Structure formats: structure tokens, C-alpha cells
Structure 1
């Protein structure tokens, strides 16, 4: 898809976004979902204006926006996703609202029934390829936006797109939770990778074998290793390798000393119990410096399903640890508004300040 429109006019960047699992959210709590979606749309409309975009259509769980600039559409998309990741942390009592975003460039036709065109259809198909909270862009957008600092564009090949005949190379936009830094370089970019690691670094200590049976130790080691492996999938987490944390098995060292020796801010410990065929896993997350417990939870299962228990529970634990560490880091910010719209206004104010300072 080219970057020039008809009659010499520049092609527009077309952004299509929809809410993942919208029907399930509506079925679970229709009133609350409608309220949250309305708030989300208002935030999207306000944010789009700051990036030169215009919301052209809102239909239930879908949003269609047009931008004069493809790079600005990508910057908007990553900022939008960051906003909703923040919202998911602050509203953890509800199922998160997660948008999938697709971006293409090309001609559009503004008709009585709405914005139409082949390029719009491609944007919708790209959106369907994106994971919840993710962004997919066409090769045409990639060529215009590849020089944006702070993001990575990973080729997904040329997947088949429904009712689209021509092959289109698709790129996923990645870069971690600091994607918003691309539009606020002087204010929000962290100065070094070491600083990032120190802020969200974590060590998972060997689980205590509380069964009294030494033969169970291998299960404890396997559970510990799986939690660590799942944590490493979160790009914003710096996770200490199991071989390093295992040095503190049956330790009598204080959490502060362990954290200092491993160079981490957060520690995870816990214990494994067995009674007849019932198993119990207790997990705790603490901030090492204060020795304050941030989160703890108990997981029960059946010994005969130990492998299924291990796979499911360790993935859940890792996800929850990532959320809790993220929430703890958010609390360290000097200004922490109680509403995501307020935080969005702060970020947009910083962006406007940056524009005036250039």
C-alpha cells in the first residue's frame, strides 16, 4: 500500500482499535463495562487530538481514527496502550479493558455510512492480528515510522488477511511499558538500563520444603524455576537467575542483605506443603529494604495433577508478581492521580510543554 493518496494528496494513517473480549465483559457486568468504555473513549478522543488525530467512528467496542502523519499515529497508539496498562493496574478489581490496534496508510472515502475503503479494511484485519494490548502495523506504516526512537518493529511475515488478496508484511510494535517515552524523550526516558533494572528487579528464592520429605525438594525447585521462567517473559522485569538465588536455600540471611548481594529491590519466597494427595503452595512478595509484604497468596491443588498445577499456578504467580511490582513502582511516583484521565492530562501537559520548549 503506497503512501500517496489520489490526486497527489498525502495518504492518511488509518487506526482501527477494538476491545478484546468485549462481549464477555458486557455479559459479566454490562453497566460497569459501559461506564468504563465510555470513559475510555473520552480519553482516546482527547489523546488523539494531541497527536493530530481525529476519531471518525465509534461503534460499540470499535474505534476508527485518522491521522495526517503515520509516525504520529504510532506514537498515539503506544501512548494509548500505556494508558490502558496503567488503568489495568489501578482498576485491578475489574477485568482489564484491553484494546487491539491495527494501523495502515492509504486513501479513505467519507460516505454517509462512515469511513470506507480498502485501506480501512486492511487496518481492521491488522487489528485482528494484534494481541490484547498490542499493535500491528502494515509495511507501509513501518517504512514511515521505523525511525521512532524507543520502539521495536518486529516482522510477523505476510500472514493471510481475510478478503485481502495482496501480500502485506505485518509488523508488531514492541518496546515494553516505557513505550510512552517515544513522545516524551526529555521527560520520561530513563537514563540507563541499569536504572531500569534496579527499579523493577526481583529474585525468587528457593521455595521451602515444608513436607519433611527430602524427596519433594525437586518439586520445590521445579516450581521455583517455572516462576522465574514465566517472570522473564515480562520485558520490564529484571529477574535474577535461579542458579544465583538458589545460593540462599535454607538461608538465615536477612532480606536486606540478600537483596543487596543480588542487587534487587524485590524478593519472593514461599513454601510447599503436602498432606495425603493435597498440595499447598504459599507465595509472598516483599520489598526487601523495608521487609514489607506487598502481596501473598495460597494455591491448593492435587498431587496427581502436579504438572498441570505447576504450569497453571506458576504462570498466574508470575503475572500477579509483575502486576504487584508495577503497582509498587507506580506508588513511588511523587504525583499519583486517582483517575487515569488525570494522569493522562499530566502526560499531555508535559508533551505540550516539550513542544513549546523545542
Structure 2
């Protein structure tokens, strides 16, 4: 399948408009709701099974997507391989369509292994569009595409104008994702995630949409994974570097600590000389991951580095040398290792940013600082974690990450006998963990916190169920994997315990709790 050339397409569009202007032809404009969608991890899926992926995508289109678009009076403007652009006269219809599609896709994916699932990312915006033959253009379309790039697999992102228009008409909640810079748009765009997994959530929309400024430290950080360079000297090996990139994007998407730009956007930089600072400005991202792949005989070397876009500072770098046996298993192993290693690097950088910034702290700053203090393992630092987490929650009642930090602080206080004493701290751990899940039941750290409460309450099976749920949401969670090993050890299944503890160590050999995993192994 030949990749689209965005530069060439843009030149053709400009030429068409120029011809229209010279001929005196009037450019047609109208206000519309725009939906942009693509498939998360599409290249990886094609690498695993090209025919099966194409057949499955066509089946989903036929049985769900196209039917829902027609049902909600939408018009498919164009399709681009795994993506599509849809126009609606009503944004209410557009949001309903997006939610219906994602709900039905979640049901259809229920019996499919995670690595084989086709999951859409969807972005929705309302804006002025330019009509040109069978296509549409304009800022409204550009913003919709940017929103799609920020959406989680199976998720929906909307602009603030969409949120404001539909929140009194539809029974969905919205989570504030802060303001993001969009290429060729002068002002940052406020973005919201649609919370449709729990209709009628007791948390109000107002509580979920706390106002944040455009200051970078006051929103969750975002990252783009640039296509890894194929250094093998053989164009036929490009599939491997593309597959690695795809897998990293998919694996990073499981983490709740940052937003990941979609493949469809990141791959527009393939094959071009990339200036990291320029990429950061164009996409509004704070971090860039780049790397290279070199194959020789039966070995492969993969290098990766995490860079702060604004400064060019290298935050993390690693090299992986492996034997090239099972290609796809190797891709998965490397991608998971890189994803697990990147999160601590970004969190550490965010902590430094939050510590440097003067003035009043917002909910995200307080949450990040709370994580910094929890890593110090002293009575005073854990008390500071509780204070900062509580303040963050007061500013944002839907801050699942802050509730989880509070839960972990209570856990360590219970272990060491600090704070309010072991029994009270343990009970408070359970309370905070449940609130973290109520705020976001797809937060794996929240489910891990509840598992710890169940484990130390003597309910091993309940703890295992919580940890399995955490690993379903994020298979790369060192904490969930390690505590699953601890749970099996408590239950007397030492073979299973060693298996999961070894996996936790492999995922994050320099992780926060790696000493505990080694101690548990004996």
C-alpha cells in the first residue's frame, strides 16, 4: 500500500485554490461538525496479518462504522487506508455517532486478543470548512485531525466548543486535557476527553473540566514517537523499523501519565530530516522519542532516545542488541521495554519542571510533586504526598492519579507504622483506591492500589482480579506485574510468583520498587 504524500497533496490543494481564485470562482464555505478517525497500531496489525486485518477492518466498517454514520446523518468525505473524515450537520449527531461506534467496537473486541484488536481513535470539532469538489479543508478539519491524534485507542477527544455545545444535551462527562498547540493555528486549542464508559457518572461535568492555563506544566505532557530510522541499508527491512515504531506508540498509549500522538500524525515525518524543536512546536508536544534499527545477519540493534523538544536535552537513551529469531515477538519485547522505561523518564522531567516553576500550582503540578515525594520513602515525604494529593483532588475531583498517589502513600505509611497507624492507614488506602477507580476505572495504577488493599486484607483472589484488570489496561505496568508476583507468593504459588517478579524486573530494571521484587524472589 503506497503511503500518502502530505506535501504533494498540499501542493495540489493550493494549486486548485489558486486556479479558483484566478478564474474568479467563489470558494464555498460552511459551518460543520467534523469527525476524524484512524486505527491505532495499524501498521503493526498489517505486519502481523495483512489479509486478516484488511478483512476485519472492512467487517467493522460494514457492520458498525458506516451504519452508525448513516444512522446519525453523517457524510463520509473520504477514507485514507485506516482513516476517515466525516461531516455532520449537527455536532450532537456527531458525538452520538462516535460514542455508539466506540461502544460497539469495545463489545466486538471483547473476545479478541488485545494484540489483534482494531481500535479507533476519534476526534471531533466544529468549525468553518472549505468545500472543494469531494473534499473539505480548513482550520476546523485540521483541529479535528489533531484531536484524533490525541485520543486513546477506543477513545474520543473533542474541542471545547464541542463540549460546550453538547454537555447539556447528552449524558456524557468530559475530562479536561488542557490546551494544545495545533499546527497552523495561532492560539492553543482546549481539548477534552469524552467519558462515555460510565454514563450517568456521579462526578459532574463541571468537576471534570477544571480550567487550566496554556502553561505547559499545567497539563499532562504529550509525546510523539517519530518513525525509527532503518539503518540496515536494505529498504526491504523497513517493515521492521515501522513495526517497532507502531508497537511503541500502542504500548505508550496504555499509560495515563501522558498523551501520545497517533501514528497517522507521527508518520508524516518519515524519511525527512527532523528538527526536534520544530516537531515540538508543530505538534504542541513536550517530548520526542526517536531511534534507529540496524539489522545484520541474525542480529538486530535498536537505539532509542527520549528528548525534551524545547531544549533538545536528552532525558533517556538505551541500546538493545538481540538475536533476530521471532521477528514479531522481538518487536513486542523491545517496544514494551522502551515504553516501560520512558514513563519514569517523563515523570522525572515533569517533576523537575514542577519544582522549577514559581507561582501557584495547579492540580497537575501538585499531582506530579506528590509522586516525587512518594518516591523518597520517609515519614515526612509521605505526609507531603498526602497534602499535595489532597490539594490536587480539591482542585480536580476527577483526578484519579492523585487519588492513586494518596492510596500508595497510605500503603507505605501502613507498612512502616507512620501517619495514622497501620490499621487506619490501611483503611484509608482502600478508600482512596476506590475513589481513584470511581474517577477513572481504566487507570491501572488505581486498580493496583485496590489490589494492594485486598492483598494486605488477606483476600488474595480479589487482589489477583484487580491486578489482572490493571494489566489488561496496561500490560507494561511494572507495579501491577510486580504486585501480582507478590500476591502469588503470599498465596504459596512460588513458580507463578517468580514468573511475574522476573517480568516486572525485565520491564523496569531501574524501577522504583525493583529492590522489593528482588527481595521477594529471595
Q: TM-score range by the shorter chain?
A: 0.5 to 0.7
User: After the TM superposition, which residues 1-358 of structure 1 pair with which residues of structure 2 at under 5 Å, given as runs?
Assistant: 11-42=31-62, 43-92=64-113, 95-112=116-133, 114-176=135-197, 178=199, 232=437, 234=441, 241=450, 245=454, 249=458, 271-272=488-489, 280-281=495-496, 299-302=499-502, 305=505, 308=508
Q: CA deviation at 1:150?
A: 2.8
Q: CA deviation at 1:14?
A: 0.4
The verdict on how the C-alpha distance between 1:243 and 1:64 changes in structure 2, with shifts beyond 3 A counting, is closer
CA distance in 2, matches of 1:303, 1:168: 40
CA distance in 2, matches of 1:171, 1:303: 35
Q: CA deviation at 1:37?
A: 1.1
Per-residue displacement from partner, 1:129-187 (whole Å, max 9, x unpaired)? 111111111122122111134311122221111232222211111132559xxxxxxxx
CA distance in 2, matches of 1:304, 1:9: 55
Q: Tell me, which stretches of 5 or more residues in structure 2 are unaligned?
A: 1-25, 201-428, 463-483, 512-522
The verdict on how the C-alpha distance between 1:299 and 1:310 changes in structure 2, with shifts beyond 3 A counting, is farther
Indicate the residue corresponding to 1:198 in structure 2: none
Over aligned residue pairs, what C-alpha RMSD do you find?
A: 4.5
The verdict on how the C-alpha distance between 1:280 and 1:234 changes in structure 2, with shifts beyond 3 A counting, is farther
CA distance in 1, matches of 2:180, 2:146: 10
The verdict on how the C-alpha distance between 1:280 and 1:162 changes in structure 2, with shifts beyond 3 A counting, is farther
Indicate the residue corresponding to 2:277 in structure 1: none
SS in 2 for 1:72: helix
The verdict on how the C-alpha distance between 1:93 and 1:11 changes in structure 2, with shifts beyond 3 A counting, is closer
CA distance in 1, matches of 2:159, 2:34: 11
CA distance in 2, matches of 1:34, 1:97: 10
Q: CA deviation at 1:56?
A: 1.6
The verdict on how the C-alpha distance between 1:273 and 1:57 changes in structure 2, with shifts beyond 3 A counting, is same
The verdict on how the C-alpha distance between 1:174 and 1:274 changes in structure 2, with shifts beyond 3 A counting, is closer
Higher helix share: 2
Q: CA deviation at 1:247?
A: 7.6
Paired residues of 1:279 and 1:301 also in contact (CA < 8 A): no
Paired residues of 1:18 and 1:99 also in contact (CA < 8 A): yes
Paired residues of 1:103 and 1:123 also in contact (CA < 8 A): yes
Q: Tell me, which stretches of 5 or more residues in structure 1 are unaligned?
A: 1-5, 180-224, 256-267, 283-297, 312-358
CA distance in 1, matches of 2:499, 2:175: 37
The verdict on how the C-alpha distance between 1:272 and 1:115 changes in structure 2, with shifts beyond 3 A counting, is same
The farther-off stretch of 241-250 and 159-168 is 241-250
Query: Normalising by structure 1, what TM-score?
Result: 0.53
Paired residues of 1:15 and 1:65 also in contact (CA < 8 A): yes
Q: CA deviation at 1:62?
A: 0.6
SS in 1 for 2:97: helix
Higher relative contact order (CA 8 A, sep 6+): 1
CA distance in 2, matches of 1:91, 1:14: 30
Per-residue displacement from partner, 1:264-306 (whole Å, max 9, x unpaired)? xxxx99632899xx96336xxxxxxxxxxxxxxx945539938
CA distance in 2, matches of 1:104, 1:250: 46
The verdict on how the C-alpha distance between 1:235 and 1:151 changes in structure 2, with shifts beyond 3 A counting, is farther
CA distance in 1, matches of 2:49, 2:454: 43
Paired residues of 1:177 and 1:236 also in contact (CA < 8 A): no
Per-residue displacement from partner, 1:60-111 (whole Å, max 9, x unpaired)? 0111111111111111111111111112113237521111111111222332
The verdict on how the C-alpha distance between 1:149 and 1:281 changes in structure 2, with shifts beyond 3 A counting, is farther
The verdict on how the C-alpha distance between 1:112 and 1:175 changes in structure 2, with shifts beyond 3 A counting, is closer
CA distance in 1, matches of 2:54, 2:510: 37
CA distance in 1, matches of 2:504, 2:98: 46
